[in-house]
Amino acid sequence: MKPSTDTDTLAPPAAEANPVEGIDQSSGNFSYKVDYAFDAGTGLSEDTVRYISSVKKEAPWILEFRLNALKKFLSMPMPTHWATKDLENIDFNKIRYYLSQGQKPKRTWDEVPDDIKKTFERLGIPEQERKFLAGVEAQFDSEAAYSNIKDLVSKQGVIFVNSTEGLREHPEIFKKFFGKVIPTGDNKFSALNSAVFSGGSFIYVPPGVKVAQPLQAYFRINAENFGQFERTLIIADEGAEVVYMEGCTAPKFSTSTLHSAVVELVALKGAKIQYITVQNWANNVFNLVTKRGVAHEEAEIKWIDCNIGSRLTMKYPGVVLKGRKARGEVISIALANDGQHQDTGAKMIHAADETTSNVIAKSISVGQGRSTYRGIVHIPKHLKGCKNNTECDALLINTNSRTDTYPAITVRGDRNATQHEASVSKVNEEMIFYMQQRGLTEGQAMSLAVNGFINDLARQFPMEYSVELKRLIDLEMEGSVG
């Protein structure tokens, strides 16, 4: 399904020379030397796929699945008839499709390698949060570097493993839904992910189990030319509840990097899944992610998605509202700075009576940054009692920034309701002067204005994420004045 029927034939923003010249961005460099035990080399071929599958000691059906996906990927055109032509600049032959440290997942903070601790330190994560982080499932490049929250939740019968382990150890649970919410050929990048995926989380929450603390994963890209293709599948059985959080802080590299994940969620009858993302990608990353969930009867799926950084992000989290009274929600924040394009939105596919969906998207465009909202809301004629609410607000900081909204709302029948609101506002010179007159620097003033703009959404993030979000915005705004 195409996110929008609008055709976007516009050229990429003219900011490619060096929009951030003269600004010291070294504060965003988080790269450390890492020894990679396994490496699939660069380029994509059947051999690459076979190599990945053999390293992971996968069952024949998975190799079959990967090879089939590779064929689809190669046969599908780039979606440049509606998306930006910048996609054509991805050189698939220069990308490294698999890396692993060959490490077993770690259990305690003491066992976490020093270089990973060093990266957390560099991120400025406070002491108490680091302790908290010791209990997270973190993906370090292709494989999870450590996990111990697993022990805790496994007492409730929760399965929390990486994709390799999930498919190998629990095929009876995961095989049924794997690749079903997002079929391999859904789009070119979901096909790519299906061919070369590694890492990511597979989670199963048994009926009625409410997982008390959020399950966390930190994804980072930490090797030049290394594309990361994590695969996540979360199944909440009847009446179960789970919150999953992922955060990304990428190091900065001079050549393009590709991140292309697939995340599938299944909320069975009465289940609730909340999936929270805070991402801060380096300026050269293509972040092309497919995220979708299926909500069965009276189930609820909520995506909270925050995208900062990257060269190009294309991401439209979706919910297929399959059962009566199912509820879907997308809360999204996108920040596009110089040389960045955030092409984000939401998809709400109503497929049962009395289903409701809510989309609130806020975008911030700074300098030459560009934000695009693409949304799709589909309510067919035969349904009744369906409701959708869509709000898109854009904030522009300086006259060069650009924002586009392509909402495609198809509501048929007279027994359904939808409402749509969109606004564009500017941080004007008077507001910045007002704040400067109180003693804030221009950067601090911008940062405060932006944080104010997203405040009502940021409050929905867990505490430690909203703190990190504020810090990321501060970092972005400091670099944007001059």
In the list 435, 446, 473, 475, the residue contacting other proteins (rule: CB under 8 A) is 435
Binder to other proteins among 113, 451, 467, 471 (CB under 8 A)?
451
E strand or H helix at 72: helix 60-75
d(Cα 354, Cα 321) in Å, to the nearest integer?
Answer: 10
Confirm or reject binding of residue 431 to other proteins (CB under 8 A): yes
How many residues at the interface with other proteins, by CB under 8 A?
24
Q: Is 399 in the site for other proteins (CB under 8 A)?
A: no
User: At closest approach, how far in Å is the CB of 308 from other proteins?
Assistant: 17
Contacts of 364 (CB under 8 A, 6+ apart): 333, 334, 335, 336, 371, 394, 395, 397, 450, 453, 454
Applying CB under 8 A, which of residues 454, 469, 473, 475 lies at the interface with other proteins?
454
Q: Classify 388 as helix, strand or coil.
A: strand
CA R_g for the chain:
21
Based on the shown chain and the rule CB under 8 A, indicate whether residue 32 belongs to the binding site for other proteins. Answer: no
Cα 182 to Cα 188, 263, 463: the distances in Å are 12, 8, 31
3-class DSSP state for residue 394? strand
Among 387, 444, 467, 471, binds other proteins (CB under 8 A): 444
User: In whole angstroms, what separates CA 43 from the centre of its chain?
Assistant: 24
Distance CA 180, CA 326 (A): 19
Q: What letter does residue 253 receive in the DSSP assignment? A: -
User: Using the rule CB under 8 A, is 25 a contact of other proteins?
Assistant: no
Task: Work out whether 289 is an interface residue with other proteins (CB under 8 A).
Answer: no
Q: Given the complex with other proteins, which of 264 and 393 has the nearer CB atom? A: 393
The answer to the question of residue 440 lying near other proteins (CB under 8 A) is: yes
In the set 448, 473, 475, 477, which binds other proteins (CB under 8 A)? Answer: 448
Q: Is 437 in the site for other proteins (CB under 8 A)?
A: yes
Between residues 201 and 447, which has the closer beta carbon with respect to other proteins?
A: 447
Q: Which of 442, 460, 462, 471 binds other proteins (CB under 8 A)?
A: 442
- CB 48 → other proteins: shortest distance, Å? 47
Backbone phi, then psi, for 433, in 5-degree steps?
Answer: -60, -40
From 51-59, 74-82, 370-378, 449-457, give the range in contact with other proteins by CB under 8 A. Answer: 449-457
Among residues 154 and 441, whose Cβ is nearest to other proteins? 441
Q: Which of 55, 326, 449, 472 binds other proteins (CB under 8 A)?
A: 449
Contacts of 88 (CB under 8 A, 6+ apart): 78, 80
Other beta carbons within 10 angstroms of residue 22's beta carbon come to 6
CA 168/CA 173 separation, integer angstroms: 11
> How many Cβ atoms are within 10 Å of 470's Cβ, its own excluded?
18
List of residues contacting other proteins (CB under 8 A):
428-431, 433-442, 444-445, 448-449, 451-456
